[in-house]
Amino acid sequence: MDMLLNVILIGAVGWFIYKRIAPTKGIRTISTTELKAELKNKDKQFIDVRTPNEFKGNHIKEFKNVPLSDLQKKASELSKDKEVFVICQSGMRSSNASKILKKMGFENITNVKGGMSAWR
């Protein structure tokens, strides 16, 4: 009986970890190098989900600051018809923001892995 509980517990923990780190279906991931080519396209939307202070310290001029904490309220300002590129400091908040946008019905979402820490 103890062994069965251990197997179930290990399986549950493994599933939880997998769900947290596995890419979400329908969300593309690109590097900051690949992002540079996308910035020229005016038919795309670029949002930075860091805090306003982080954004003021350093940001990419094409990106609009929409803090993660405000994303659900401000998502109506974004077009569901255009691709949305999401960046943060390291890629974790932008990954969460991408999942939120996906749940809100956005279909064309791109997360920038490595975030501003990888931007050169």
Residue 18 lies in a domain: no
Residue 49 lies in a domain: yes
pTM: predicted TM-score of the whole model, two decimal places: 0.81
Residue 6 lies in a domain: no
Residue 58 lies in a domain: yes
Q: Give dist(CA 36, CA 33) in Å, integer.
A: 6
Quote the tokens at residue 16. Answer: 């939880």
Per-residue pLDDT of 36-70, as tens digits, reads 999 999 899 999 999 999 999 999 999 999 999 99
Residue 12 lies in a domain: no
Residue 15 lies in a domain: no
pLDDT score recorded for residue 18: 64
Residue 4 lies in a domain: no
Quote the tokens at residue 73. Answer: 């309220």
What are the residue ranges in the chain where pLDDT is below 50? none
Q: Quick one: which of 71, 65, 63 has its CA closest to 103? A: 71
**Where in the sequence is the domain holding 36, given as residue range(s)?**
26-118
What CATH number should be reported for the domain holding residue 74?
3.40.250.10
Q: At CB < 8 A and 24+ separation, what contacts does 25-28 make?
A: 26/102, 26/107, 26/109, 27/98, 27/99, 27/102, 27/109, 27/110, 27/111, 28/109, 28/110, 28/111
How many structural domains does the chain have? Answer: 1
**% of the chain at pLDDT higher than 70:** 92
